[in-house]
Structure 1
Amino acid sequence: MVAADSEGPDDPGVRMFRRECSIPLRGSAAALSNNLSVLQLPTRNLTHFGVVHGPSAQLLSAAPEGVPLAQRQLHVKEGAGVNSLLITQVHWCVLPFRVLLVLTSHRGIQLSKDKLDHPPIPAPIFQMYESDGSIMVYWHALDSRDASSAQAVFARGIAASGHFICVGTWSGQVLVFDIPAKGPNIVLNEELAGHQMPITDIATEPAQGQDGVADMVTADDSGVLCVWRSGPEFTLLTRIPGFGVPCPSVQLWQGIVAAGYGNGQVRLYDATTGALHIQINAHARTICVLDLAPEVGKLLSAAEDTFVHIWKLNRNPDNGSIEVEHCHGECVSDTQVCGARFCDPSGGSFAVTGYDLAEILRFSSV
């Protein structure tokens, strides 16, 4: 059964958040989906922000009041005498025993650990760093031998699942890396082949020890979703067909797959069966990012139409059906929103980036 719900972009809805002081950027945000990563460090009373700007990733640390305390830039180098590659995504991966910062790019992947004066790297597609971006601990170059001369070779879509980090690629494969508790001995554990089109996004949630529970979902440029169970070997549980529209962003919460599409729709599926429960005409243009506050089930959607919406997800205890309530709408005037994230697991605050916008906008609950 599909329940239709709509909250038009011209109706900002109930206001539950107020705008706070913004955080300045050295360069504006690139027009990339999911172009904001947030890492909260409650013990140090800090929040890290990561934003892509062309060939560099801007990393900022800020105090609760939004005052920037430190800023650094990371670049992915192809080799001596070659210009920096364009970065496609920056994302902090929180693992059980460590936090790594992952950069993906056109032609490669990396992870880091100390100073940034590492030697030139031949065509990396992604890199992994220690959480502050100071030390690179791993890099990986994609095999492009099967790509035609007209195809772009890139990595995109990053997520942590247990002690694994998963990275999507241009070919539709998802690379699964086994991450040790410390050190650089990172191993490519598996290559998942559930997609025929480039991966756009990957989302995970802890399975909490439940066998057979879906804990990862991947999306691609055709709108196809694949739902997986992680483990020593990842298992494909459900494949949700696309409908000719890209799915730039996806989330997973308590057995609910939330997918944001290029036509402005948010669709909620059952992760076990793939059944469509709710279709929300949430935005007037392409949705660039979804995010979830796992403690309360708040879903954030942001799009090219300048709007950010907050939704509340619930499961009806009587029949298990999924219910959605619109909580807040925020217009970022004259801005193509390209990134947005909750800044805490309870959804009490969120941050927003926009194309050609040289600042991170901050909002907190009223």
Structure 2
Amino acid sequence: MYKREKSIQIKSSASAFYNNLSTLPITDKNLTYFAVIHGSLVNMASWCVLPSRILLVLASQKGIQMYESDGSIMVYWHALDTPEASTADAVFARGIGATRSHYICVGSSTGSILVFNIPPKGTNITLSEILEQHRDPITDIACDCSEDKECVADLVSADDSGVLCIWKSGDDFKLMYKIAAYGGTCSSVKMWSGIIAAGYGSGQILIYDAAAGTVNVVVNAHARWICTLDVASISGKLLSGGEDSFLRIWRIYRNPETNSIEVEHEHTECVTDVQICGAKFCDPEGTAFAVTGYDLSEIIRYVQV
């Protein structure tokens, strides 16, 4: 069970972007940083936790900006290519993921994924590779957040058409599987211990085995569009939020007897009359989570009791 705690007031309301909340737990100081996007220029903000450093990454219509974790110093700027001819298509960056080594991946409106090589310190950040498997704008990118280093694949990307690409990161990123669209946009995707959870506009969550590229479970999770997913890196709890104003927590795991992936529902919260935009766990165990909503000037928090 979770109970609602005192909300955190923010100066402006959350924009109606899916995945519009990022958190950075500072466990030794018992603090949590929150980032929420308001306005139309920035599409996503996310902290990227690498082995040697933490960077705050902004993906926007103008380009990709990387800052030190507290946002005080910009360490890198990458401008997006703007077409010479005027077109109706917007140019933007969206979808951010950090591998377990030293790469940060950022998606774009063209479907390309930009791979940046991040040094242990300093500003000598370089664009090392561009991944060109998607044909539609990237919606989300996720890296395996578990401690399992034996996973065959450790990165997944999703696009507006619903196509998923499963990758093995490294000096040369390798495409393991390309999964065809499943009836609509995949708005949010997460990866944990070789298991991929993908949320769709249909309100369904599909659970994939990353090593095989196959669907194991289909969950009719929400009555409307799924706006956000998150996974607790230690416990494997999965948090989902939808336009139906509901938040749900699931447990995903592998059955040791059959090696099949199973899903159990653990908790539901209704944030009445709020169109949920983002939801994130505030700690690796999943004992607390936070929620943002469109036209809501506060971050709502829930804590396990």
TM-score (norm 1): 0.81
- Structure 1 counterpart of 2:92: 154
The 3 A distance-change label for structure 1 pair 365 and 29 is same
Q: Deviations over 1:204-238 (max 9, x none)?
A: 02586856710000000000000000000110001
**2:69 aligned with 1:135:** no
Describe the SS at the equivalent of 2:121. coil
- Structure 1 counterpart of 2:59: 104
Identity among equivalent positions (%) equals 58
**2:34 aligned with 1:95:** no
Task: Give yes or no for contact 2:143–2:191 (8 Å, CA) kept in 1.
Answer: yes
- Could you tell me which of 222, 228, 232 is aligned with 1:289? 228
- Could you tell me which of 277, 297, 302 is aligned with 1:358? 297
Task: Give yes or no for contact 1:259–1:268 (8 Å, CA) kept in 2.
Answer: yes
Aligned residues: 304
- Structure 2 counterpart of 1:27: 12
- Could you tell me which of 143, 147, 157 is aligned with 1:204? 143
- Could you tell me which of 27, 42, 46 is aligned with 2:31? 46
Describe the SS at the equivalent of 1:226. strand
Task: Give 5+ residue unaligned stretches, structure 1.
Answer: 1-15, 56-85, 109-124
TM-superposed CA distance for 1:294, in Å, is 1.8
Q: Distance in 2 between matches of 1:326 and 1:206?
A: 21
Q: Distance in 1 between matches of 2:170 and 2:235?
A: 26
Describe the SS at the equivalent of 1:53. coil
**2:158 aligned with 1:173:** no
Q: Distance in 1 between matches of 2:90 and 2:257?
A: 49
Task: Give yes or no for contact 2:145–2:191 (8 Å, CA) kept in 1.
Answer: no
Task: Give 5+ residue unaligned stretches, structure 2.
Answer: none
Q: Distance in 1 between matches of 2:146 and 2:179?
A: 20
Residue correspondence of structure 1 range 252-267 to structure 2 within 5 A: 252-267=191-206
Q: Which AA in structure 2 matches 1:54?
A: G
Task: Give yes or no for contact 1:293–1:299 (8 Å, CA) kept in 2.
Answer: yes
Q: Deviations over 1:76-133 (max 9, x none)?
A: xxxxxxxxxx110010000111110011111x3xxxxxxxxxxxxxxxx111001111
Describe the SS at the equivalent of 2:80. coil
CA RMSD of aligned residues (A): 1.4
Q: Distance in 1 between matches of 2:163 and 2:225?
A: 16
- Structure 2 counterpart of 1:12: none
Ranges of 4+ aligned residues in structure 1 off by more than 2 Å: 144-148, 206-212
The 3 A distance-change label for structure 1 pair 269 and 148 is farther
Q: Deviations over 1:118-157 (max 9, x none)?
A: xxxxxxx111001111111111111123776111000000
